Amino acid sequence: MPPNANLTWDPEVRNELKVVFQITNDKQADELAQTFARAGAMEALDLATGRITVTSMANARSHRIMCLLKSGIPVPRCKEVVSSLFGVIPAVAQRYVDTALARHRSETDLSKVTPTEFRRIQRSLNDRPRRTLGYMTPSEKLSEVVALTG
Angle at 31 between CA 30 and CA 32, to 5 degrees: 90
- DSSP-derived secondary structure letter, 113: S
Is the pTM for the entire model greater than 0.85? no
**pLDDT for the residue 1:** 43
Nearest CA-CA partner of 121 in 97, 138, 141, 85: 97
Question: pLDDT digit string (tens) for 83-108?
Answer: 988 999 999 999 999 989 888 766 55
